[in-house]
Amino acid sequence: MDTLSLLKELFLLGLFYYVLQYIVCLLLPGKSRKLPPGPRGYPVVGALPLLGSAPHVTLARLAKQYGPIMRLKMGQHSMVVASTAAAARVFLKTLDANFASRPVDTAPMYLAYGGNDMVFAEYGPKWKLLRKTCSLGMLGPAALERWAPVRISEVGRMLQSMYESSRHNQLVDIAEILSCSLANMIGQVILSRRILQTGQPEATKFKDMVVEHMTIAGLVNYGDWIPGIGWMDLQGLEKRMKNLAGRFDKMWREMVELHEATASSRKGNPDVLDGLLARRNDEDGEKITDVNIRALLMDLFTAGSDTSSSSIEWAIAEMLLNPSITKRAQAEMDQVIGRNRRLQDSDIPNLPYLRAICKESFRKHPSTPLNLPLICTEDCEAEGYYFPKGTRLMVNIWAIGRDPDVWENPTEFNPDRFMTEKGSKIQPNGTHFELIPFGAGRRICAGARMGQVLVEYILGTLIHAFDWRLPDGVEPNMDEAFGLAIQKAVPLMILVSPRLAPHLYA
């Protein structure tokens, strides 16, 4: 039987199942409960064909028609989408306990070791252990302060590399140099060593793998929503995920083996991976397995290096379109810091305009446009709607950041909106639902604090240290490439000119 005939049969079987299910629902007695409104979609596939190549944009447009809490029938599953700050508060605060776990579909099955990582682990003791361990070792406030010297050192290397590019009038690939720098920061904290060299093939390979990971993990896989056709892998996504997962797994295994072989050199000065490996022998309560460790390496290296670099790259692109923003930020820094030293963490609280630029980048270009899916574990009701167990939740963070009822001229990049008394109080930490680039509630991104610190420190340093410009005749391309994280469709390549004392780039 050829593929076309098989697809026709599957469609007819699915259509029969859909009609039968609809008739049964009509005939069964019982109290009717109000579900949120939403598009009717098509038989069998539901609203899947409506999403297109930019689901965050499509869902934002549909929300204008159906409301801020919208339900879509997606194949055999139901999905509810929250598209305003008030709607997000309903699910991530009021119903937070009901939506505290995530579905483990094809992407987390292959790219998160079956949900054995911190991001997709079921809400419970193991997830709490993984989160606590990473917070103490790397992501929490005390850990961030402890590894501040690593940030200073790696950003210094980045400045040196960019300075050398400026001397030879060479273009700087912002995405690659940021990805390399962030990966080396994470490498030093987790492994006590740098893992990449800027400009070398390994750095480009790593960046490409991370981008592929974040892109493919965000694509809509029809097999997840219509399990009956999953085995066919019609889009070829499962094959790509298996291949990518195999390459990453080889990398993580080699890292762990090398780390264990050099354990004696770190006695008295353990790093994050040493702490994780030590928990394998813990006899009390939950244990961290070898699979958990490789899954955590995947989380920390991919999300840690990609989301922050994406936010910084978008901010630089917007500032190239608005040079007055750059000049104002530089004037603020020259007044607070001067030009005879580099920016320090302690300077950032005294740089409100820099912080406003970072928040504006988080608002207009959230690194994760749609939150990672959550799943309802118990029937619940709110806002007059019923949400059955198994309902999946997406929060359209991109739409929330562009809500015209909250933000004046939302498509404009305007840091001044965060310089008012009201705007300055809005923080991207999950408590102000009009700005939730890292999510909110129990499953807020564990690296939210780290992401904010890195973006403020690295972007601030680049603004302070260099003047930027595009090659003559080139305009910044602001097209998006959708995935789990929104990348620039065309990487930003810029020319830089140093503006500080030369010895600060050494």
CB neighbourhood size of 274 (10 A)? 18
The string of pLDDT tens digits covering residues 462-503 is 999 999 999 998 988 999 988 888 889 999 999 999 999 999
Strand stretches in 351-465, DSSP E: 374-375, 380-382, 385-387, 392-395
In a domain, 12, yes or no: no
Within-domain flag for 352: yes
Do the domain assignments include residue 103? yes
The pLDDT value recorded for residue 63 is 98
The DSSP secondary-structure symbol of 36 reads P
Query: Which residues in 367-461 belong to E strands, given as ranges?
Result: 374-375, 380-382, 385-387, 392-395
Is the pLDDT at 11 greater than 70? The verdict is no
> What is the domain extent for residue 134?
33-505
How far is C-alpha 460 from the geometric centre of its chain's CA atoms? 21
Q: Is 445 annotated as a binding residue?
A: yes
Cα 177 to Cα 72: distance, rounded to the nearest angstrom: 40
Q: What is the pLDDT of residue 319?
A: 97
**pLDDT mean over 241-260:** 95
Measure the CA–CA gap between 378 and 78, rounded to whole angstroms.
14
Q: Is residue 17 part of a domain?
A: no
- CA 35 from centre of chain: 30
434 within domain boundaries: yes
d(CA 277, CA 356): 40
Which residue in 195, 194, 191 sits closest to 259, CA to CA?
191
459/449 Cα distance (integer angstroms): 15
The total domain count for the chain is 1
Query: Could you tell me if residue 398 is inside a domain?
Result: yes
Q: What was the pLDDT predicted at 506?
A: 86
Specify if 233 maps to a domain: yes
Give the Cα separation of 113 and 126 in Å (integer): 14
CATH number at residue 273: 1.10.630.10
Question: What does DSSP say about strands 466-469 and 374-375: parallel, antiparallel, or unpaired?
Answer: unpaired
- Residue 200 above 80 pLDDT? no
Question: To which H or E segment does residue 496 belong?
Answer: strand 493-498
| Helix ranges (DSSP H) in 67-173 | 85-89, 106-111, 125-134, 141-146, 148-167
- Per-residue pLDDT for 228 more than 90? no
